[in-house]
């Protein structure tokens, strides 16, 4: 008999039932659905380059499809030649020297983050998560049994946490610091000195770091920055690096990322992956191999366009009364404060929160934007500027008119 408390009546598990839908994908899906209905929606929601994957990478994938070697299972942890290419690329781009046994090839950076936390955390272990945070981090930590502890940094500190704030959040249960620079959602870039100071605090307190380097090549204005385990070599045995091809080579749909870390962590994460998903699709791995073996021409060209769009969007947003948009140093997001627009009446309705504001904007101006609530910091909006120059101007002009 099924009673209210029987195992059968508890339909979705508590662990998975607690996961929220990705707010960024939700906004993007809504914008795409409205577009499909013929509405002239401009979407600032998506976190992906608007450029196609470079031809030489696509050609390598086409060739890989025809090669029967790629029609079979391959080692769960990744093709050996791709692991070697990741080792070489990492030494070339960030200066971190590792061995292939320290690399696990994953289905994108997302799976890398999930598997890394699963390999590092025991129930109750705390992870310090600087906020505004990318929406996936707290979910991945909780799924792995960990407890995310948020540390909020606002626009007055360029959305970057200080060592004092980290220290105030540290407890006996703290195991890992989550670190990301350039950041999604704020685009903030930590300077080399700031990274060294944070690294010294991590080392002094016997913690681990998971550092997400997916936007490493999108740093503007020649800012002086670097990779945390390179700037803080003493942390090498307690650092896990996450990276991937998605943002650098306009390859979000190919789903290739990786974990780099100490061998025991990587081995454990590889065991997990061997039961969860086995090897990443071989055609995608071959495409990633071609990407990494090539040069950085494609990302350099994208960077020029992103930099131009960054300047346009920052200056246009700052022309709106009630909006304050700092100039981000990296990635392809701006994160303006819209606190000056809240609590006012628009068309007979008072908009109290950034979530209500973004719904109002979608409704009235047909512009899709993700509210700060998705990133643990209400009162802000995140706009991706990885869309065409004309769309950016048109979209922000609509906002300027809406709030004139």
Ligand X SMILES: Cc1ncc(COP(=O)(O)O)c(C=O)c1O
Q: Does 209 bind ligand X (CB under 6 A)?
A: no
Residue 327 CB-density burial (10 A; 0-12 exposed, 13-18 middle, 19+ buried): middle
The strand ranges marked E within 81-132 are 103-106, 126-131
Min. distance of Cβ 219 from ligand X in angstroms?
A: 14
Site string for ligand X, 64-103 (x = CB under 6 A): ----------------------------------------
Site string for ligand X, 134-173 (x = CB under 6 A): x---------------------------------------
Give whichever of 155 and 212 is closer to ligand X, judged by the CB atom. 212
CA–CA separation, 231 vs 179, rounded Å? 14
Q: Does 180 bind ligand X (CB under 6 A)?
A: yes
Min. distance of Cβ 215 from ligand X in angstroms?
A: 7
Residue closest to ligand X when measured from CB atoms:
108
CA–CA separation, 156 vs 146, rounded Å? 30
Min. distance of Cβ 393 from ligand X in angstroms?
A: 24
Residue 1: Cβ within 10 Å count: 4
What residues from 333 to 392 belong to the interface with ligand X (CB under 6 A)? none
CA–CA separation, 174 vs 190, rounded Å? 22
Stretch that binds ligand X, among 96-104, 156-164, 244-252, 271-279 (CB under 6 A): 244-252
Min. distance of Cβ 289 from ligand X in angstroms?
A: 16
State which of residues 43, 47, 54, 326 lies at the interface with ligand X (CB under 6 A): 47
State which of residues 23, 118, 241, 246 lies at the interface with ligand X (CB under 6 A): 246
State which of residues 53, 174, 184, 227 lies at the interface with ligand X (CB under 6 A): 184
CA–CA separation, 51 vs 388, rounded Å? 9
CA–CA separation, 160 vs 177, rounded Å? 14
What residues from 214 to 243 belong to the interface with ligand X (CB under 6 A)? 214
Q: Does 188 bind ligand X (CB under 6 A)?
A: no
Residues 256, 226 contacting (CB under 8 angstroms): no
Give whichever of 180 and 369 is closer to ligand X, judged by the CB atom. 180
Give whichever of 246 and 266 is closer to ligand X, judged by the CB atom. 246
| β-strand pairing of 344-346 with 349-351 | antiparallel
Q: Does 244 bind ligand X (CB under 6 A)?
A: yes
State which of residues 212, 217, 250, 314 lies at the interface with ligand X (CB under 6 A): 212
What residues from 99 to 138 belong to the interface with ligand X (CB under 6 A)? 108-110, 134
Q: What angle do CA 193, 199, 205 make, to 5 degrees?
A: 140
| β-strand pairing of 239-244 with 208-212 | parallel
Phi-psi region of 81 (alpha: psi -120 to 50; beta: other; left: phi over 0): alpha
Q: Does 181 bind ligand X (CB under 6 A)?
A: no
Supply the DSSP string of 147-197, one letter for each residue: EEEEEE--GGGTT---HHHHHHH--TTEEEEEEESS-TTT-----HHHHHH
Contacts of 20 (CB under 8 A, 6+ apart): 135, 139
- The residues binding ligand X (CB under 6 A) are 47, 108-110, 134, 180, 184, 212, 214, 244, 246, 252, 257
């Amino acid at each position: 008999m099924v009673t209210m408390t029987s195992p059968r009546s508890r339909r979705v598990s508590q662990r998975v039932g607690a996961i929220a839908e990705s707010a960024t994908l939700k906004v993007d899906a809504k914008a795409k659905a409205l577009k499909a209905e013929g509405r002239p929606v401009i979407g600032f929601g998506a976190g992906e380059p608007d450029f196609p994957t470079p031809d030489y990478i696509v050609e390598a994938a086409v060739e890989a499809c025809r090669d029967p070697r790629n029609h079979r299972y391959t080692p769960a942890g990744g093709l050996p030649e791709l692991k070697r290419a990741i080792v070489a690329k990492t030494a070339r781009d960030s200066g971190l020297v590792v061995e292939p046994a320290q690399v696990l090839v994953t289905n994108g950076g997302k799976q890398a983050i999930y598997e890394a936390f699963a390999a590092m955390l025991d129930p109750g272990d705390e992870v310090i998560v600087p906020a505004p945070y990318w929406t996936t981090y707290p979910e991945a930590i909780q799924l792995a049994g960990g407890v995310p502890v948020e540390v909020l940094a606002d626009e007055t500190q360029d959305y970057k946490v200080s060592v004092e704030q980290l220290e105030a959040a540290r407890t006996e249960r703290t195991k890992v610091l989550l670190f990301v620079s350039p950041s999604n959602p704020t685009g903030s870039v930590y300077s080399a000195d700031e990274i060294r100071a944070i690294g010294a605090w991590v080392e002094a307190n016997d913690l681990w770091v998971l550092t997400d380097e997916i936007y490493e090549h999108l740093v503007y204005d020649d800012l002086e920055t670097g990779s945390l385990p390179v700037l803080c070599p003493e942390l090498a045995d307690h650092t896990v690096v996450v990276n991937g091809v998605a943002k650098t080579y306009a390859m979000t749909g190919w789903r290739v990322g990786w974990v780099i870390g100490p061998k025991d962590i990587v081995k454990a994460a590889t065991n997990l992956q061997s039961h969860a998903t086995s090897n990443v699709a071989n055609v995608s791995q071959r495409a990633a191999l071609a990407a990494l073996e090539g040069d950085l021409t494609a990302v350099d060209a994208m960077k020029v366009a992103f930099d131009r769009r960054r300047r346009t969007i920052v200056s246009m947003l700052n022309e709106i009364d009630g909006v304050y948009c700092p100039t981000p140093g990296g990635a392809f997001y701006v994160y303006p404060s819209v606190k000056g627009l809240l609590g006012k009446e628009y068309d007979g309705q008072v908009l109290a929160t950034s979530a209500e504001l973004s719904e109002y904007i979608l409704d009235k101006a047909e512009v899709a934007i993700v509210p700060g609530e998705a990133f643990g910091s209400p009162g802000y909006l995140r706009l991706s500027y990885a869309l065409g120059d004309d769309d950016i101007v048109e979209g922000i002009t609509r906002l300027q008119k809406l709030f004139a």
